[in-house]
Structure 1
Amino acid sequence: MANKRMLTTRDIVYSGVLAAICAMATSLKIPFGVGAMVHLGTAFLYTVGICFGGVYAGLAGAIGSAFYDLLMGFSPYTAWSFVIKGVAGLIIGFVAKGLWPAPVIRETGHSWMWRAVLGCLLAAAWTLGGYIVAWWQVTGSLAIAFSNIPGSLLTSGVGIVVALLLSPKLRKIVYR
């Protein structure tokens, strides 16, 4: 039988801290145009996935995003965010780093960067699809759901750029 890794107390503490930072990062908003806002929670989630792996990113995204929605009055989206952002974190982390954190290995070239980009794009596609369904179910209008697509794509795009800029340095620091 394969040796399976279990969550340790350290994993739980790290996940809790990362979830709290995810909730705070989601509250940091950047204005774009007239009335459009982009938050940095997605950038943080992608960065955690690239640096720490799928389990940490999944837990941080699920708990942090749901906690933000619950505290900020978006309670109809709490369960949706828990699932959507949790799976998005798992996707980016698994593709870019694997399920669990592991020491940074000297990789030739930038192969990790291509995995990170692919993971970010897959997570962004999952998030967009998930939130279209969530917006449709919560508002009862498919037109409103589709009208939110540009904002979601902008948030994911900014998240990808920020994560890809921060991750190379953070990957070296995290595993010293």
Structure 2
Amino acid sequence: MNEKRKFSVRDIVFIGVLAAMCAIATSFKIPFGVGAMVHLGTAFLFTVGICFGGIYAGLAAAIGSAFYDLIMGFSPYTLWSFVIKGTAGLIVGTVAKGLWPTPVLNEVGNGWVWRAVLGCVLAAAWTLSGYIVAWWQVTGSLATAFANMPSSLMTSGVGLVVAMILSPKLRKSVNR
């Protein structure tokens, strides 16, 4: 079961559309703290990971989050977001679904729910630790980095709730 898969044109188009949607979802935000925000980008990232898998979620989150930072004036965070959010998408997608989109017909019961929650929690922990380092490096203040922790936790919490509401219905449409 160690088969290698190449990117198809369909994969590239899906990832591009998902990256654009990630940037748009991140724009729905509430400023909180110094340079921090509660936004729906994380909810989108978690939902894509649960529905499409790690490759799609990782690339869509990396590109979409970095693009958002670049066009919205958060350019010091662009590379940080690319790495942190891309890895978070890879984590949640791989734990919840696997690397690539697969039909949900072969999944029995609600076992996917526990994998999805675990993937989201692991991705949230990674995101929190990554952004503490990013905030510290960009602002030069460890106190500011720690002050932004509540917004990261709130964003991930909202993301988990939204993803768990949307994912059951969206997972079924992925097969179509």
> Quick check: 1:102 aligned with 2:102?
yes
What TM-score comes out, normalization by structure 1 length?
Answer: 0.94
> Quick check: 1:5 aligned with 2:1?
no
Cα deviation code 1:50-102 (max 9, x no counterpart): 00000000000000000000000000000000000000000000000000001
Structural mapping, 1:117-136, within 5 Å: 117-136=117-136
Distance (Å, rounded) in 1 between the aligned partners of 2:84 and 2:37: 20
Structural mapping, 1:1-176, within 5 Å: 2-30=2-30, 37-176=37-176
Distance (Å, rounded) in 1 between the aligned partners of 2:30 and 2:75: 22
Count residues with an aligned counterpart.
Answer: 175
Distance (Å, rounded) in 2 between the aligned partners of 1:134 and 1:37: 14
Distance (Å, rounded) in 2 between the aligned partners of 1:24 and 1:84: 18
> Which stretches in structure 2 are left out of the alignment for 5+ residues?
none
Distance (Å, rounded) in 1 between the aligned partners of 2:107 and 2:81: 34
1:29 Cα deviation (Å)?
A: 1.8
> Which stretches in structure 1 are left out of the alignment for 5+ residues?
none
Distance (Å, rounded) in 2 between the aligned partners of 1:172 and 1:3: 25
Residue identity matched to 1:60:
A
1:30 Cα deviation (Å)?
A: 4.5
Structure 1 residue runs of 4 or more that deviate by more than 6 Å after TM superposition: none
Superposition RMSD in Å:
1.9
Distance (Å, rounded) in 2 between the aligned partners of 1:138 and 1:38: 19
Cα deviation code 1:111-143 (max 9, x no counterpart): 000000000000000000000000000011000
What TM-score comes out, normalization by structure 2 length?
Answer: 0.94
1:174 Cα deviation (Å)?
A: 1.5
1:3 Cα deviation (Å)?
A: 3.1
2:104 alignment partner, SS class = coil
After superposition, the Cα gap between the structure-2 partners of 1:2 and 1:154, relative to the gap in structure 1 and judged at 3 Å, is closer
1:102 alignment partner, SS class = coil
Distance (Å, rounded) in 1 between the aligned partners of 2:17 and 2:154: 26
